Amino acid sequence: MAGLQDVHTHLAYGNAKSEEDIDLYQPMEFRAIRGLFFAQKVVAAGYTSICAPGDAGQISLSVRDAINFGLFEGPRVTAAGRYLTSRQGLTDWYPTWIGAPDTSIGRLIASKEEAIEEIRVQVKNGVDCIKLAMDGVQTREDGELIAAFNQDETSTMVAEAHRLGRKVVVHARGREATLYSARAGVDLIFHAYYLDDECLDAMVKSGSAIGPTMTFPRNIIDFTQPHEPAAIKGRPSAVEREYEIGCENLQKARKAGIPMMTGTDSGFAVTPYGEWHAMEPEIFVRDLGFTPGEALRCATSVTARFMAKGGKLGVLEPGRFADFIAVDGSPLENIAILQDKSRIRHVHIAGKRMQIPERGYDPRQVTDRSWSNWTDLYTQDRVRELRGQRPRLAAAE
């Protein structure tokens, strides 16, 4: 069958456990080398093309070029530069007195003029697409996510990227960000969990596609252990509520004919490279109402539409690139077999069989560099609680 496609794999993240892991604790040069190492793990899972939608510096561009120029074997890479973000957007996660460091995956934008200049710089550097962080964590009193950019700003950025011949992908979980993005005519919207009928109408009109990226939240729900900070903060239960809302709304999008592309947000500790890419088509079948055949088309020919040289990808026919895999078994009968790497018998890119040796690594040296030595505050009361002791009685007067 045609090689699989993942439109949401961050090559610079390194299987990060925190934002600091992503942005700070390894030099850019090392992150690029590390990204190439992890890109090869994606190939072993049967994925011949990926999009790296937003990484620091020119890391993904460098990995892409090293592969394209024949220096190393790896998947085809569609590369973006840094996210364009605002004070309400994803990647502006440090205090205001720090801002967005130069080594961050985000570029903090203060005006339309700055946004246009950043887009032009990235295009000059050779990006395949532009990434906008259209929302983040800022909410109104009713809990609705606030769009990071207003409609005029969004439309201006998208128009400039399109004028320069680049596609636009956005991070937009909330309704407002999804609506502004669709109205502006972005090519691909990640998440869109809180879309409504107005959003759907705008997407039908503009032709915007959705990359639901359900594997990342599903893994947070299923894998987070009780002692981990994410669990202590209640994140899995909050993500599960959002997942249920997302499934309901994305089924409406499917019925409305909105194209759906497969991606996983690989690059985090809960979505390691080469491990869970094929979970996404299974989720399409299990939770979004797709048939196995429809999900496989999403993971091949539909997702290929966003990729660089996408007209040559995703289908096995004369005139296309000979990117294909041989699977032991039929994913039309059981789509979950694509997650069993032992069943991915052959991976060919441009007709050449990829034979990349499996290599392990020590994450404590490669990724886990942030300085977090304790996850608790050891007051006397807390220590007694941990030891199962009764509270100490006050001394008698």
Beta bridge partner(s), residue 348: 324, 353
Q: Is 186 left (phi over 0), alpha (psi -120 to 50) or beta?
A: beta
Residue 239 lies in a domain: yes
Residue 392 lies in a domain: no
**Residue ranges making up the domain that contains 253:** 4-386
Helix, strand, coil percentages for the chain (3-state, nearest 5): 40, 15, 45
pLDDT, one tens digit for every residue, the chain (397 residues): 999 999 999 999 999 988 888 898 889 999 999 999 999 999 999 999 999 999 999 999 999 999 999 999 999 999 999 999 999 899 998 888 888 889 999 999 999 999 999 999 999 999 999 999 999 888 898 889 999 999 999 999 999 999 999 999 999 999 999 999 999 999 999 999 999 999 999 999 999 999 999 999 999 999 998 888 899 899 999 999 999 999 999 999 999 999 999 999 999 999 999 999 999 999 999 999 999 999 999 999 999 999 999 999 999 999 999 999 999 999 999 999 999 999 999 999 999 999 988 888 888 888 877 776 776 778 788 888 888 876 665 555 5
Number of domains observed in the structure of the chain:
1
Residue 396 lies in a domain: no
Structure tokens of 282? 């299974």
* HSE-up of residue 249 (Cα within 13 Å, Cβ side): 23
273 contacts 267 by C-beta, under 8 angstroms: yes
Q: What string of DSSP letters covers 238-288?
A: HHHHHHHHHHHHHHHHHHTT--B-----BTBTTB-TTTSTTHHHHHHHHHH
Residue 198 lies in a domain: yes
Residue 394 lies in a domain: no
Long-range contacts (CB closer than 8 Å, 24 or more residues apart) made by 138-141: 138/87, 138/88
Residue 120 lies in a domain: yes
Residue 92 lies in a domain: yes
**Centroid of chain to Cα 33:** 20
Residue 393 lies in a domain: no
Q: Is 46 left (phi over 0), alpha (psi -120 to 50) or beta?
A: left
Place of tokens 């947000």: 265
